[in-house]
């Protein structure tokens, strides 16, 4: 019996390849909507996972109107998809500031915002806005404990003092990413998510009292989404849910999303009676997680021994079951950077390749 992920004519696809399954993507989108009681206004999905116009439009068709991204190319991709509201969770500095302003000017039908956490970066943006006579929307990025970016609560007032000198910068709210939360124990994750919410809410309260207006609160990624989805006063920004991956299947078991992106690979060498080699090197699957980096579907007894740029060596019970050219299917441990390795994906429905989608936002620049 053919499995849901298998292609009836695998020779139509060269490997390694990334396959995506729209029916499953749609189910995942509908599932995440149900986790916020169907209120799409409480979702701001991060598009760094998919990087494709087609997937973004699938979310828009389900009522999602606001998105988060990490790069100017991702922001422009969303504008090309006619997204209404885009938040770039990255502080534009150097040449990116010029590109950001040009992007805002080039796509007036999309509302753009970005994050700021540094007085110098804020002053540079405010000066640029004055020069262009352009109103720019910003969120203050708050450090929720990850220690990567974000202003601390103790330095928030100083950031506001600088903001007050730039009337063309419009503060819309606060943003916080708690990527340090990843414990597989859901109760521990809840405690950590509660603390990150406390910090973000404290920042929002200070700003609301200072400026006399309600602040939007954007928080979290996938691991903390279980907790933040229950909060009625925040907007959540998970991204991996569209495709899901083996890493989150193991660590966030309560989020029951389906795999919707699968790697296709082939046996390229039979080394011994118990060893084979496939064409799934670390140029084809994200190398940031430790080995094995993939989970092979419906294949028991496979162990990943080592990996190089174009190859992955496996231990198997009996290599005679894996002759040269055998097709294997695997789910990556970390799907987001895996997607970024492919120029295009193969779109599969009912066991057949229907078309290809371009991973357009893997490029550093589109038009801007």
pLDDT score of 305 more than 90: yes
What mean pLDDT value characterizes the chain?
97
122 falls in which pLDDT band (50, 70, 90)?
Answer: very high
Where residue 163 falls (left for φ over 0; alpha for ψ -120 to 50; beta otherwise) is: alpha
Q: Which domains does the chain have, with CATH numbers?
A: 10-18+260-362 (2.40.37.20), 22-241 (3.20.20.10)
Provide DSSP, 196-263. Answer: HHHHHHHHHHHHHHHHSSPPEEEE--STTHHHHTT-TT-EE---GGGT--HHHHHH-TTS-PPP-EEE
Q: What pTM does this model have? A: 0.96
Which residues pair with residue 142 across a beta bridge?
151
**Residue 1 pLDDT:** 79
What is the mean predicted confidence (pLDDT) over 260-275? Answer: 98
138-166 pLDDT per residue, tens: 999 999 999 999 999 999 999 999 999 99
31-41 pLDDT per residue, tens: 999 999 999 99
pLDDT score of 99 more than 90: yes
């Amino acid at each position: 019996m053919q499995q849901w992920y298998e292609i009836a004519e695998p020779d139509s696809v060269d490997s390694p390849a990334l396959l995506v399954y729209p029916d499953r993507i749609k189910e995942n989108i509908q599932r995440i909507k149900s986790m916020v009681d169907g209120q799409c206004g409480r979702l701001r999905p991060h598009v760094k996972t998919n990087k494709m116009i087609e997937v973004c439009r699938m979310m828009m068709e389900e009522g999602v109107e606001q998105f988060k991204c990490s790069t100017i190319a991702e922001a422009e991709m969303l504008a090309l998809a006619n997204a209404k509201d885009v938040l770039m969770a990255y502080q534009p500095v150097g040449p990116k500031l010029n590109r950001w302003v040009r992007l805002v000017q080039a796509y007036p039908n999309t509302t753009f915002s970005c994050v700021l956490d540094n007085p110098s970066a804020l002053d540079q943006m405010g000066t640029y806005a004055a020069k262009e006579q352009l109103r720019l929307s910003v969120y203050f990025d708050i450090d929720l404990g990850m220690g990567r970016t974000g202003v601390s609560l103790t330095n928030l007032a100083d950031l506001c003092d600088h903001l007050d000198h730039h009337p063309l910068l419009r503060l819309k709210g606060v943003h916080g990413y708690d990527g340090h939360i990843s414990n597989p124990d859901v109760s521990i994750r809840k405690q950590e998510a509660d603390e990150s919410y406390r910090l973000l809410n404290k920042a929002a309260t200070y700003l609301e009292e200072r400026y006399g207006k309600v602040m939007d609160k954007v928080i979290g990624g996938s691991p903390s989404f279980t907790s933040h989805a229950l909060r009625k006063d925040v907007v959540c920004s998970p991204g991996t849910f569209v495709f899901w991956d083996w890493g989150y299947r193991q660590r966030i078991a309560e989020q029951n999303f389906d795999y919707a992106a699968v790697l296709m690979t082939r046996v390229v060498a039979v080394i011994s009676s118990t060893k084979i080699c496939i064409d799934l090197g670390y140029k084809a699957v994200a190398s940031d997680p430790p080995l094995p980096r993939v989970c092979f579907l419906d294949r028991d007894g496979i162990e990943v021994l080592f990996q190089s740029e174009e190859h992955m060596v496996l231990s198997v019970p009996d290599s005679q079951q894996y002759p040269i050219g055998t097709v294997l299917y695997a789910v990556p441990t970390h799907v987001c950077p895996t997607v970024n390795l492919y120029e295009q994906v193969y779109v599969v429905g009912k066991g057949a390749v229907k078309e290809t989608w371009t991973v357009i936002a893997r490029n550093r620049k589109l038009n801007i």
